[in-house]
Amino acid sequence: MPVKCLVNGFGRIGRLCFRYAWDDPELEIVHVNDVCSCESAAYLVQYDSVHGTWSKSVVAAEDSQSFTVDGKLVTFSQEKDFTKIDFASLGVDMVMECTGKFLTVKTLQPYFGMGVKQVVVSAPVKEDGALNVVLGCNHQKLTTDHTLVTNASC
């Protein structure tokens, strides 16, 4: 059974993370949260000025509450305060934190209190409590026991 994921922050990094994760059979992206409109999010994930047009068909719903990728529903919200998102009702196990705003263990801790099991941060968290992974240097340290992980740099 795939891990249900939410992407928080849908700028360039969040969208590329979404595209990459979409084809991973171990992950299922069920929700995106960003301050942009759902229509903009759907358009920008399909058309990237550097990486080109994504091979998937992305269509925003008329109610602006979701979009589909090749017919599969992804719900959408525009919450500046992620603690207002009902992670439990979405069944979210993992958050891909791509806003670049939450860079301390303390500011990321609320995710875990809301039932999220793992948080992957696209920017470095420079303190104890997060594993900063650098592919090719220390990636062998990463285990399923780590709940807060960063890619050490965006």
Residues taking part in catalysis: 154
Residue 106, sorted as left (phi over 0), alpha (psi -120 to 50) or beta, turns out to be alpha
Please, what's the largest Cα pairwise distance for the chain?
A: 46
Q: Catalogue the long-range contacts made by 67-73 (C-beta closer than 8 Å, 24 or more residues apart).
A: 67/38, 67/41, 67/42, 69/22, 69/45
